[in-house]
Structure 1
Amino acid sequence: MGLGRLHRPTVWFHLFILLSVTTIATRSDDCVYTAYIRTGSIIKGGTDSIISLTLCDANGKGIRIPNLEAWGGLMGTDYNYFERGNLDIFSGTGPCPTAPVCAMNLTSDGTGPNHGWYCNYVEITTTGPHLECSQTLFTVEQWLATDTSPYELTAIRDYCKPTRGF
């Protein structure tokens, strides 16, 4: 009887560890998003603005990234993102989508000496535990600028079924 009491704290400790591991393993932030963004090779196509990206699946679940470079820029500390002809790569974690990503909102904050930006495309790869890898290509081919047509700082591409809008 006295021996059982000595092991109770050990049982509670192991139960605590088991619950902690289970909680960590089932977090919704287990998916990895990788974004490949191509800036056009057009003259003055690069930008110094902050670029944000919102991604959604057909159920509206996804991730909002307010600053791509700060969130997960993989090109190095001295690298100049979103310059003419560049293919920039970003990666980070976020909530797992319930279906493949099919909509995006790409936005420039319009700041900096060179605010206009021409984006060719955004390609998104998403994967997570027990999920298939999914890949979506969003063709942009648009200026994000206030001084060039279409005079918008946002590009929205929605390839989801008609039941869901961005």
Structure 2
Amino acid sequence: MSDFVSRVTNKLDSKGRVSIPAAFRAVLDYEEAKFLYCCPTLDMQAIDAGGSRFQGAIRDRLAQFETFSEDHEFLSTALLGESENLKIDTDGRVTLSDALKEHAGITTHVTFVGQGYKFQIWAPERFETYRNEAKIRVRELRRRLGATSSGSPNSGADT
């Protein structure tokens, strides 16, 4: 099974549509996705998107909570109630709703970022800020893990 990988920036056209990157469409086709499932991220100004694996991950997460519990209600509202199914046209484009664009701060360009079972949709400038922070945090994490794991072939290596 293929994963969503890489990063691509595309422009919104005059009708507000954006082309899903071809490699991402191939994964959606493999998953037999009839639409693009999108929801605002819980803690960032971006959009989580994907097909059946992404929806399955949401179902799996919700299943960890007792049905009708307050936590289940809050999480299902955030992950399902705020979600949208976007129709993918024959040219592989989707139209992002105003609500999704507003949440992510998208105006003219969109950055697609692969994350394995799902991908994220960002305003390019917001993604660059997030990407820089992610690099710093990954370096810190690697240092912490390197300090606690002995015998690792890459312990202490700076890659």
TM-score in same-fold range (> 0.5):
no
- Tell me which protein shows more strand as a share of its residues: 1
- Tell me which protein shows more helix as a share of its residues: 2
Greater relative CO, 1 or 2 (CA 8 Å, sep 6+): 2
Bigger radius of gyration, 1 or 2? 1
